[in-house]
Amino acid sequence: MSSKRTDMRSTPPARNERTLRSIKAGIEQMVTRAVAAQPVTDLHTHCYTPRFGAAPQPGGLLLWGIDELVTYHYLVAEVFRIVPATELPYDTFWAMSKTEQADHIWKHLFADRTPISEACRGVLTTLSKLGLDPNEKTLAGYRKWFAKQNPSQFVDKVMETANVDWIVMTNPVFDDHERGIWERDPDVAIDDRFAAVLRIDPLLRNWTLAGKKLREWGYNVDETFTDRTAAEVQRFLRHWLDRMKAIYVAMSLPPEFAYPNPAQPNADAFLEKALLPVLAERKMPFAMMIGSRLQVNPSLKDAGDMVGKSDVQSVVRLCDRFPRNKFMVTMLARENQHELCVAARKFGNLLLFGCWWFLNNPVLIEEMTRMRMELLGTTFVPQHSDARILDQLVYKWEHSRRIIAKVLIDKYNDLEASGFHVTEDHVKADVARLLRDNFRAFVGK
């Protein structure tokens, strides 16, 4: 008994400074190697298969190339801080051609000033990783290079450079232009590099508009959410889930989103009687992206949205009352992150993901990843790119991999300091979970 007690009390041999230094160096090497080598499954993007049409083709949904990269809505917002609408009216900017807009942005954000913001730095990283010099004063040279690229081959090039093995799309079925493409070409998403996601914001954000469209499409729905309406909405959902071969359903929701919400009985009924039963039947997650206050400045178009603090307890109630459903959740406000992390500790059917939109900045990615790892271990998905332009996959993952690696190195050093031996197997398994396998397991792929 006493020898067993003695064994139990034995402490690991004291490690001298030199040993600890070599352990630290070893950990840094293992993590950097594993994070760089691990293919990422990018669970939320706005990229499209080439069959949806590619820029600069009018109406092409696959955006790529230097002019799309430089006119990304994040950069539109930033250039209007330098040349305000009082000097360059919004309408004048929007009347410019894509190349004129890009030249304007490149001049003011990249040539005349230091491109120090995260969105600016992203363009530079992408250019560098594609083998181009990011110090050009004009876009002419880049345009020549991109003109030689072919969209589908460029998809392969970007995926290889970014080490992304699967690009998950966002497919807003209430968008008339995109729905028209699906209706003309049901196989438009047949491309094993991509997966489809059924995006249905209006069904919660604007039931009146959604109901009107559903009736136009031949679904017999009423203003109020009757049982017949519930059955028809279920028929609509099943039709599009099957047509898209969608791997989950997603919505972006306002800061005010609440469940239950007595003031919006149709919204509660939609969740309880239509969406969640269909998803539970298919073991398919519902992704809620909560906190986007849309169009605070409509003149900025896609750049006109902002953030608001949301209600985590509504997520808690959904996870609690619908244990057969799986919820992927990301919130847009920094202030919501800790409470959301604790919520994830309470419900195994809740998977947190990404540092969304205004959180996708190094200072916040690091803070959130540390918080999540210390509260949730490796049971979360640290990042998604939200790339709207294909080329952005390169920088969004280059930047995030570095931060995720930095946090892992620190946490593994903490483990070593407690006497635990971290091996390369531990590191590889953890990195695979974080960058690929947690998500794929949650969607059953």
Which parts of this chain interact with ligand FIX (CB under 6 A)? 46, 170, 252, 289, 292, 302, 357, 386, 388
Least Cα distance to 198 among 161, 142, 153, 236 occurs for 236
Shortest distance (Å) from residue 442 CB to ligand FIX: 18
> From the CA atom positions of the chain, what is the Rg in Å?
24
- 306 in Cβ contact with 293 (< 8 Å): yes
If contact means CB under 5 to 8 A according to the sort of partner, which of ligand FIX, Zn ion, none does residue 388 touch?
A: ligand FIX
| Closer by beta carbon to ligand FIX, 133 or else 302 | 302
If contact means CB under 5 to 8 A according to the sort of partner, which of Zn ion, ligand FIX, none does residue 292 touch?
A: ligand FIX
If contact means CB under 5 to 8 A according to the sort of partner, which of ligand FIX, Zn ion, none does residue 125 touch?
A: none
Shortest distance (Å) from residue 46 CB to Zn ion: 6
| Closer by beta carbon to Zn ion, 68 or else 386 | 386
| Closer by beta carbon to Zn ion, 170 or else 266 | 170
Tokens of 386: 């939200």
| Closer by beta carbon to ligand FIX, 305 or else 311 | 305
| Closer by beta carbon to Zn ion, 139 or else 288 | 288
Residue 14 has what DSSP assignment? P
Placement of tokens 């969209």 in the chain: 151
- Under the criterion CB under 5 A, does residue 386 sit at the interface with Zn ion? yes
Shortest distance (Å) from residue 23 CB to ligand FIX: 39
- Under the criterion CB under 5 A, does residue 42 sit at the interface with Zn ion? no
Residue nearest to ligand FIX (CB): 252
- 389 in Cβ contact with 69 (< 8 Å): yes
If contact means CB under 5 to 8 A according to the sort of partner, which of Zn ion, ligand FIX, none does residue 430 touch?
A: none
Shortest distance (Å) from residue 292 CB to Zn ion: 9
Taking phi over 0 as left and psi of -120 to 50 as alpha, with beta for the rest, 260 belongs to beta
- 391 in Cβ contact with 65 (< 8 Å): yes
Tokens of 123: 């363009």
Shortest distance (Å) from residue 351 CB to Zn ion: 17
Least Cα distance to 352 among 382, 374, 392 occurs for 382
> What's the full length of the chain, in residues?
445
SS3 292: strand
| Closer by beta carbon to ligand FIX, 41 or else 252 | 252
Shortest distance (Å) from residue 306 CB to ligand FIX: 11
Stretch 50-79 residues interacting with Zn ion (CB under 5 A) = none
| Closer by beta carbon to ligand FIX, 278 or else 289 | 289
Least Cα distance to 171 among 183, 154, 160, 157 occurs for 183
Residue nearest to Zn ion (CB): 386
At 234, the amino acid letter reads: Q
Instruction: Round to whole Å and give the CA distance between 116 and 101.
Output: 20
Taking phi over 0 as left and psi of -120 to 50 as alpha, with beta for the rest, 218 belongs to left
Shortest distance (Å) from residue 357 CB to ligand FIX: 4
Which residues contact Zn ion by CB under 5 A? 386
